[in-house]
Amino acid sequence: MPRFLIIISIIYIVLAIYGFQGFKTIFKNIWLQWGYALLFLAALANLIIRVLAYTPGDGVRGQIANAAGIFMAFIFLALVFTVLLLLEDIVRLFVFAYNKMSNPSGSMTQFFPSRREFISKIALGVAALPFGAVLYGMFKGKYNYKVLKYELEFADLPEAFDGYQITQISDVHSGSFDNRDKVAYGIDLINKQQSDVILFTGDMVNDKAVEMEPWADLFSTLDAKDGKFSVLGNHDYGDYTSWPSDDDKKKNLQDLKDLQKDMGFDLLLDTHHYLEKDGQRIALLGVENWGRGGFKKAGDLEKAKAGISKDDFKILMSHDPSHWEDVVIHDDYHFHLTLSGHTHGMQFGVEIPGWIKWSPVKWRYKYWAGVYEELNQFINVNRGFGFIGYPGRVGIWPEITVITLKKKGLT
């Protein structure tokens, strides 16, 4: 058994046993008590069995994802429950010490207060919140598609493109999908926006091109009058799984490129395309993945912009928002709008429009979800259409972005 799994199992069992003491305070029925214990053990056993049965390099990251998600829900329950019970036990210990000092001849049982049932109930109630949220995210949240609409104004937007509508999707991670009807609903929702162009900003798969094959017919139905364009994300290169040879890895990447073409996507690999309307045009550029912090830096912005003018209105597709922060906004070509993804908003957080927008991923990425403006340039970081790792979403829902371009000052 992997060492990390042994360590996690030991910690998990300790937390479960400690929480069991509080559970016994609330529920006197022995069947309920054993039910609690057996559920915790079943979640751990399920994860261990899945991990031991997993074959590295098979390209199916979702094989153990559900087991890990359920285990995560139980560990959150045990952790929160234990922490709150531990706080009560610290208070009980101080009460005992005070009573003992007040009457040294008294017995330990006489002065050590018993665990209070209402405290245990509160602790269990609080612990149930993250437990329920994690399970909800797995079974409902991961397909809870949201259409987010923005209007962005530009002084130098060609007049013909005033009102031009873009739909952006990102981070499909098709290898994680497990519900065809839900994915089909998401595809239909994209088409219902009736945008002028559809732009996909990378991570079509988790590891291998074959993951997309069962879903290719659905994504082939995506339609926009000016076409649909795509770039590669860090997962699309197959860097996170094992390959029999370098040739196999190269073939996989070519297979994915061919599959995207078959689905009707024009894949922009460090190149550009002009979108034309009423004799005017805007430049659409796409780069290969460029990421900070150990991620592949394959993107070549200089190559992508070769052949376009500084005066062109420019939209850039670049998977990782760190590229925008580190390179793009400082480039002398002035990229009016950059479209990225990659962060997923960590698939976990709290968002209440106009009040709060928070996810732990903000500690790694300054620009992690939504629209930002720097140096008179915009970026939209899409929260992702799919999911990976944790097989769900809590608070950060799968996103379909609709951006309408507006010419500033035009009535």
Domain boundary among 95, 115, 139: 139
Who has greater pLDDT, 352 or 212?
212
Distance, in Å, from the CA atom of 22 to the CA atom of 80, rounded to the nearest integer, reads: 12
Would you say 114 and 131 are in contact if contact means Cβ atoms under 8 Å apart?
no
pLDDT at 55 over 80: no
Same domain? For 114 and 154 the reply is: no
pLDDT of residue 60: 44
Distance, in Å, from the CA atom of 86 to the CA atom of 90, rounded to the nearest integer, reads: 6
Q: Taking the alpha carbons of 340, 343, 344, 348 in that order, is the dihedral positive or negative?
A: negative
Of 105-119, 315-329, 333-347, where does mean pLDDT reach its minimum? 105-119
Q: What is the CATH number of the domain that holds 192?
A: 3.60.21.10
Same domain? For 58 and 188 the reply is: no
Domain boundary among 105, 121, 139: 139
Would you say 344 and 382 are in contact if contact means Cβ atoms under 8 Å apart?
no
Cβ-based neighbours of 91, under 8 Å, separated by 6 or more: none
pLDDT of residue 108: 53
Who has greater pLDDT, 372 or 108?
372
Question: In which domain, by residue range, is 392 found?
Answer: 144-407
Q: Which H or E run contains 86? A: helix 65-102
Q: At what angle do helices 65-102 and 117-139 cross, to 10 degrees?
A: 170
Same domain? For 240 and 160 the reply is: yes
Of 13-27, 152-166, 181-195, 268-282, where does mean pLDDT reach its minimum? 13-27
Same domain? For 148 and 132 the reply is: no
Same domain? For 285 and 357 the reply is: yes
Angle at 352 between CA 348 and CA 356, to 5 degrees: 85
pLDDT at 104 over 80: no
pLDDT at 278 over 60: yes
Same domain? For 171 and 69 the reply is: no
pLDDT at 59 over 50: no
pLDDT of residue 58: 47
* Averaged pLDDT, 246-261: 97
Distance, in Å, from the CA atom of 319 to the CA atom of 325, rounded to the nearest integer, reads: 12
Same domain? For 128 and 151 the reply is: no
Same domain? For 164 and 133 the reply is: no
Same domain? For 135 and 149 the reply is: no
Would you say 229 and 284 are in contact if contact means Cβ atoms under 8 Å apart?
yes
Domain boundary among 115, 139, 163: 139
pLDDT of residue 378: 98
pLDDT at 95 over 80: no
pLDDT at 362 over 90: yes
Same domain? For 196 and 105 the reply is: no
- Sort residue 294 into left (φ over 0), alpha (ψ -120 to 50) or beta: left
Same domain? For 130 and 148 the reply is: no
pLDDT of residue 366: 96
Structure confidence by residue, pLDDT tens digits, 124-163? 899 999 999 999 999 999 999 999 999 999 999 999 999 9
Would you say 318 and 201 are in contact if contact means Cβ atoms under 8 Å apart?
yes
| Number of domain units in the chain | 2
Same domain? For 128 and 177 the reply is: no
Report percent pLDDT > 70 for the chain: 93
Who has greater pLDDT, 264 or 104?
264
Angle at 380 between CA 376 and CA 384, to 5 degrees: 170
